[in-house]
Amino acid sequence: MLTGKQFVAKIAKDNEALFCAGELNVKAYFDARPAKEELTRHFIGRMLNERMNMVEIAQRVATMPVDTPAEELMLLSKQALDEAQHFRMVKEVVEHLTGTELDVAAAAAEEARKPQAKGAALLAKYEANTNPVALATYQFIAEGRAERNWDMMAKCIDDEFIASRYAKIARDEGFHASIGRVKLEELCNDPGVQAQVESMAAQMRRDLFEISCQNSVATAEAREIFEAAYN
């Protein structure tokens, strides 16, 4: 049997095709130079995704067992704060594009009429608030993917105001992925847990790839890479 560290290293290697495919889709989207109206719509969806992440992580912190190690509480609390800051930063991106202060409630109501796909919705789908294995898997895969996607976006987009903020968000997402990695290494010293993570990771990668295709550009090259890796 693989140790927890060895197993998580395998998961990391298996994630690479997802991350590469996501980068290709993101690059194609921003290389196409979307109109301001499309970018505004896009970033409103991303803003609300950051808020959803904040709420879900904060709820997990609020319901963790009383004997949860203080360091684990602090790391997840830091992630919830990061997500709140990302919400603010992406709101500022939207206001930078429109030149006016954003009515968040109105924007959320409008976006809800035609909702964009959101990675944060997977926290509820996989019941991460009550399943520490699911939460750590989500952090490791979804936040790792976000780090790569947002780093790519920061390199592709011409607007320095947006690029600088997303470069910072990307660094934070890498930190969140590292929280998940450490927790998975701790949890995955058991063959039953490893089997659970392997199955969950396979479905989560497919969910995240489809979200990438819906929110950016579904390139043929990205889908070819994804399907070749995961059948």
- Residue 231: what pLDDT? 85
**Residue 230 belongs to some domain of the structure:** no
Model pLDDT for residues 52-91, shown as the tens digit of each residue: 999 999 999 999 999 999 999 999 999 999 999 999 999 9
**Residue 56 belongs to some domain of the structure:** yes
Flag whether pLDDT at 111 surpasses 90.
Answer: yes
Q: Which of 230, 226, 227, 231 is nearest to 20 (CA)?
A: 226
Cβ neighbours for 122, distance < 8 A, ≥ 6 positions apart: 128, 138, 142, 204, 207, 208
The pTM is what?
0.95
**Residue 229 belongs to some domain of the structure:** no
Model pLDDT for residues 172-206, shown as the tens digit of each residue: 999 999 999 999 999 999 999 999 999 999 999 99
How many domains does the chain contain in total? 1
| Distance in angstroms (rounded) separating the CA atoms of residues 76 and 26 | 28
State in Å, rounded, how far the first CA of the chain is from the last one: 25
Q: Alpha-carbon dihedral of residues 9, 86, 57, 201, nearest 10 degrees? A: -30
Where residue 123 sits, what CATH number does that domain have?
1.20.910.10
Parent domain of 21: 4-223
**Residue 156 belongs to some domain of the structure:** yes
**Residue 228 belongs to some domain of the structure:** no
- What are 12's two structure tokens? 């990391």
| Distance in angstroms (rounded) separating the CA atoms of residues 52 and 215 | 16
- Average pLDDT (21-31) is 96
**Residue 231 belongs to some domain of the structure:** no
For tokens 């979307």, what's the residue? 34
- Average pLDDT (92-112) is 97
**Residue 136 belongs to some domain of the structure:** yes
CA-to-CA separations, 157 to 17, 166, 199, in angstroms, rounded: 23, 10, 35
